[in-house]
């Protein structure tokens, strides 16, 4: 186990030992550490009923503290999972927080996905009065994360350009066809064959240009270049997807407050909207999500047609998802899968529409 993960496990065990005594303390010290996530933006380790998270190295300590206070506030009870405690700082400066462990959404059971519950939770979050929370609350970081994804794609294009000439890989399902690279129109290549074709890197720059075109057509606030609108904004999660829900004591709650803050609440609906527009989210799931959101008093979708509010945030999340997919595909030297291609195709449509309306 890496040093970071070992320190997280120790933090959980110390917390549990301090919270109990006797057999409970002995059980806490004997718990096996399970790594739940280990990424550049956060490492999470579970020991029994407690999980510890090492936040990103560049996390603003003051902003994180404000987000934790909001999550622990009574006005957010039943919406956000509340932290147990804030633990030590790692030697490299990363902050550690402690949380109750909750059961995540089952990725292999789409029929049981809690879309209605998610819509209700987001609506309740958006109606929490920011003034009632201890502040000051930082901005919601969703647009900044989209900008970071585009920057990551740009770096991947530069890296891929240095190795592209020597690349050849077997053609396979999901490989971008040359006609698709020229026109931006999805072309399915059929089953894998024994022939060879240019590697995915040879089409990366073309697909990246489509993503850049879509990105350029978005307003500055959606690219992280300024505040959204002139008002104070609503309390937003900032990075909503089904992986941000857990079931704790029988109820679903939102987790991961790293991007929590003030902003346009439509952003929290943007990823499901982008998936729905790309054909990756079933109409019934979208209807359950949106209907529950509206029924619980959510104000980010409008009473009738939701797209006037959702079009820009959904476009930004489409670009973000496509940019990350291309960057990861380039790093792994692989072709895009069908879902990733759908998001790149979405960028093509966004760019064409934006350029058509000037």
**Distance separating alpha carbons of residues 328 and 195, to the nearest angstrom:** 24
pLDDT at 21: 43
pLDDT at 189 over 90: no
What residue segments make up the domains of the chain, in order of their start?
A: 1-100, 102-358
pLDDT at 209 over 50: yes
- The answer to whether residues 179 and 197 touch, using CB atoms and an 8 Å cutoff, is no
**Distance separating alpha carbons of residues 65 and 242, to the nearest angstrom:** 24
pTM of the entire predicted model: 0.85
pLDDT at 1 over 60: no
Share of the chain above pLDDT 70, in %: 82
DSSP state of 248: E
Residue range 131-153: mean pLDDT, rounded:
94
From 43-52, 182-191, 221-230, 234-243, the region with the lowest mean pLDDT:
182-191
Q: Which CATH class is domain 1-100?
A: alpha beta
DSSP bridge pairs for 39: 42
- Residue corresponding to tokens 């009065």: 129
pLDDT 10s digits, 21-45: 444 444 544 578 899 999 888 999 9
Residue range 233-251: mean pLDDT, rounded:
96
**Secondary structure of residue 191 in the 3-state scheme:** coil
Share of the chain above pLDDT 90, in %: 64
- The answer to whether residues 133 and 235 touch, using CB atoms and an 8 Å cutoff, is yes
Q: Which long-range contacts (CB under 8 A, 24 or more apart) does 60-65 make?
A: 60/138, 61/95, 63/138, 63/261, 64/95, 64/97, 64/258
* Band (232; pLDDT cuts 50, 70, 90): low
pLDDT at 64: 94
pLDDT at 35: 93
**Distance separating alpha carbons of residues 274 and 250, to the nearest angstrom:** 30
**Secondary structure of residue 295 in the 3-state scheme:** helix
CA dihedral 252, 257, 259, 263 (to 10 degrees): 70
pLDDT at 54: 94
pLDDT at 172: 36
Residue range 114-136: mean pLDDT, rounded:
96
pLDDT at 159: 79
- The answer to whether residues 17 and 29 touch, using CB atoms and an 8 Å cutoff, is yes
Q: Which CATH class is domain 102-358?
A: alpha beta
Residue range 60-73: mean pLDDT, rounded:
94
pLDDT at 198: 44
Q: How far is residue 159 from each of residues 135, 152, 202, 203, 336, measured CA to CA in Å? A: 42, 11, 12, 13, 17
- The answer to whether residues 196 and 171 touch, using CB atoms and an 8 Å cutoff, is yes
DSSP state of 175: P
């Amino acid at each position: 186990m890496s040093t970071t993960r070992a320190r997280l496990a120790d933090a959980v065990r110390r917390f549990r030992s301090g919270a109990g005594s006797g057999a409970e303390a002995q059980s806490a010290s004997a718990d096996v550490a399970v790594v739940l996530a280990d990424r550049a933006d956060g490492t999470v380790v579970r020991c029994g009923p407690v999980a510890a998270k090492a936040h990103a190295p560049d996390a603003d300590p003051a902003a994180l503290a404000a987000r934790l206070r909001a999550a622990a506030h009574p006005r957010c009870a039943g919406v956000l999972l509340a932290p147990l405690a804030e633990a030590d700082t790692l030697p490299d400066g990363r902050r550690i927080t402690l949380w109750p462990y909750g059961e995540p959404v089952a990725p292999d059971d789409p029929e049981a996905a809690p879309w209605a519950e998610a819509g209700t939770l987001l609506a309740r979050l958006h109606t929490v009065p920011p003034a009632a929370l201890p502040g000051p609350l930082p901005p919601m970081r969703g647009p900044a994360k989209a900008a970071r994804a585009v920057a990551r794609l740009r770096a991947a294009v530069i890296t891929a350009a240095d190795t592209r000439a020597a690349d050849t890989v077997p053609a396979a399902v999901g490989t971008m066809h040359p006609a698709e690279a020229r026109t931006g129109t999805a072309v399915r290549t059929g089953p894998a064959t024994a022939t060879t074709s240019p590697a995915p890197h040879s089409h990366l720059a073309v697909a990246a240009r489509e993503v850049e075109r879509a990105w350029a057509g978005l307003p500055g606030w959606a690219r992280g270049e300024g505040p959204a609108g002139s008002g104070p904004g609503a309390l937003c999660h900032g990075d909503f997807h089904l992986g941000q829900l857990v079931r704790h004591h029988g109820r679903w709650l939102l987790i991961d407050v790293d991007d929590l803050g003030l902003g346009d609440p439509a952003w929290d609906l943007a990823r499901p909207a982008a998936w729905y527009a790309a054909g990756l989210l079933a109409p019934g799931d979208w209807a359950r999500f949106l209907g529950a959101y509206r029924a619980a008093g959510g104000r980010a979708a409008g009473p009738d047609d939701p797209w006037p509010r959702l079009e820009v945030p959904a476009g930004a999340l489409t670009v973000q998802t496509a940019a990350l997919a291309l960057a990861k595909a380039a790093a792994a030297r692989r072709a895009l899968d069908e879902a990733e291609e759908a998001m790149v195709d979405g960028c093509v449509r966004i760019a064409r529409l934006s350029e058509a309306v000037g």
